Structures are given as C-alpha cells and as structure tokens.
Amino acid sequence: MNKQVLITGATSGMGLSHAIYLTSRGYSVIGTSRQVENIDLEQLKESYIQDHTKYYYIDSAKTEVRPSKILISTKINQNLDKYLEDIQYISMNVTKMNSVTSAIQDLDNIDVLINNAGLAHFGPIETYSLEAIQDQFEVNFFGYIRVIQAVLPNMREQMNGQIINTSSLAGLSAIPFMAYYSASKAAILRLTESLKIELRPFNIRVSSLLPGDINTPGNAVTACLYKKDKKFKSTDIKDMIDAIPLEKNSVYYNHGKIAWKTIMRNLIVSPPPIIVSKKVEKIIRAKRPKIHYKSGSKLQIWGVNLMKRFFSENLTTRIMAMFYGL
C-alpha cells in the first residue's frame, strides 16, 4: 500500500495501535501529537505492549490485575521497533486552528484522515463546569472539524480521499456521569452522515468508527484530569478508583462512585485496540464503505444492537443503569 494516512492522537491507545498496524500493512503513516518533541519510542512501545496484554483480576474487589499473555502477532512483535521508527510524527493541537493548518500545509498529500484524538470527562450534568464541558467538545468534536476543514481542499482538488471519524458505542447508548463524552460522540455520528452526503460529488468516502470498551489508557487519562500531580497507568485500578472526581458531600457522590468504579474497572479486561485497527483497514480497503462500523467486544455490540432494535428507550436506559451498577 502506498496510501498516506494521517492519524490524530497517535501516541497512545487506539491511535498508536492504528499507526503501528497500518505501518505493518504497508501504509505511510503520519501521527500527530501535541508535544512531538517529547515522544519517546521506548515509552510508546511499552504502552502498546500493555494495551495488547490480556489481564485478569486476582482479587474479589477487582482492583488488582495480573497479565496473562501478550496479544501481539509474531510479525508485529519482531518488527515493532522498526514500525515505530517508520511512523512520521508531527506536532498538532486539534483545539487550535492555526496549529492544525500549519501542520497540514506542510504535508504533501493525505489519502486517509483518521480523526482519533479524544478525551473523556466525568461528572454530574448539574454541577459540572461549563468550561470543562467546552473542553470536552473542543477535542472530541470541534477538533475533528478543524482537521477535516484543513484536509478537504486538497482532497477535493484530487477528487479522492477518505475520512474516518472515531465515535463510540457511547454515542448510541449514553454513559452515566459521562454525558459530555457520550454527547460529543453522538454529535460525531450526525457530523459523519452529513459530511458523507456533502462530499459524494467529490469522490471522498466518509465513515465513522464506533468502538466499545477497549484496553487503552483512556481511564488513566481521565483520572489524570483530576489528579494532575499523579501519573496513572491503566493497571493502577485502585489508585484510579480512589481518584474519583466527586466531593463526598455531593448529592451525587454515592451513585457517582459506583459508576466511576465500573468505568475504571472495565477497560483493562476489554479487547485489545488491534481489533479496532483491523476494522480501520477494512474500512480503508472497502470499495463502498458503510457509513458506520462498530468494533470491540461482540457481546457489547450485540447488546447495543439488540437494545436499539427491540427495546424501548426507557428499557434501554434502565439496562444501561444496571450495567453501571445504578
């Protein structure tokens, strides 16, 4: 493959997995980072291996995990250092239009854009600050728009290109106390649908990707938003649970604590990000890609499909509440 792929947020989690996997498949990959000067390839390697390790809980409280096996293919394992060196990293802050346009104008041609950069806030709708909510959308929604607007002129001129926007199953079924994350991901679905219609005359393909729970450092990043003096790893379950961003005198504390625990425990025992990366390549190679692609645990995908097709909205919200212990 000689296609050039631009991936935002490519230094951790799914973005890093996409970058490594697509590089292994012969694509030329450009990854973005807000602090490209601080990239340490050894740290990226360590993070990638951790995300592709199968873990299981060893205590009844579900706060301690033990690795079971590495889920990396022989080919990627043997060539991981080379693949990381082959990825071209550039500086980009998706919340700043000048940063986005500056980065894009220095690139020759982008065949595929994978909008992946994102973050997740946690808190009650009633009491969460408007500033934090805006921060959520600046990255997860407006950040996508900025990059799309920057790459489209060249794609239109070439009459060819592809855009893959990362949404989430949370965009279909909302997560309690993460309303802003769910809302931003739902917005991406509607954005993708409109964009696909608008770009049909220019032969630009548009799809969205809806992962479920995936073993990434996402929870650690969320916990670090509220404990800026600490550096969490995705295996630090107990420490992350203790970092709950709610005051004990909050009327939402008891329910919020239960939901926070569930969220903090879920990702580490979820499927590895490479299954999403393989879905990404499937989308790229498709002659007529669909508008939406779900990826992740088959049980989660089946459950969401079942609820959306056969269950009432009231029943769906009750099931989601039960899933998060509420």
- Active-site amino acid positions: 181
Among candidates 185, 250, 180, 183, which has minimal Cα distance to 222?
180
CA distance 326 to 318: 9
Sign (positive or negative) of CA dihedral 298, 301, 307, 309: negative
Is there a contact between 234 and 228 (Cβ–Cβ < 8 Å)?
A: no
Among candidates 118, 207, 211, which has minimal Cα distance to 169?
211
Q: How many CA atoms lie within 13 A of 253 on its CB side?
A: 8
* Widest distance between CA atoms in the chain: 58
Q: Long-range CB contacts (< 8 A, 24+ apart) of 315-318?
A: 316/173, 317/174
CA distance 296 to 279: 10
Structure tokens that stand for 116 in this block: 């992946």
Q: Are strands 28-33 and 161-166 parallel, antiparallel or unpaired?
A: unpaired
How buried is residue 153: exposed, middle or buried, by Cβ count under 10 Å (0-12/13-18/19+)?
A: exposed
Angle, helix 143-158 to helix 179-199, in steps of 10 degrees: 10
Residue with tokens 């250092």: 81
Q: Are strands 65-70 and 53-57 parallel, antiparallel or unpaired?
A: antiparallel
Q: Is 291 helix (H, G, I), strand (E, B) or coil?
A: coil
Angle, helix 298-310 to helix 313-323, in steps of 10 degrees: 150
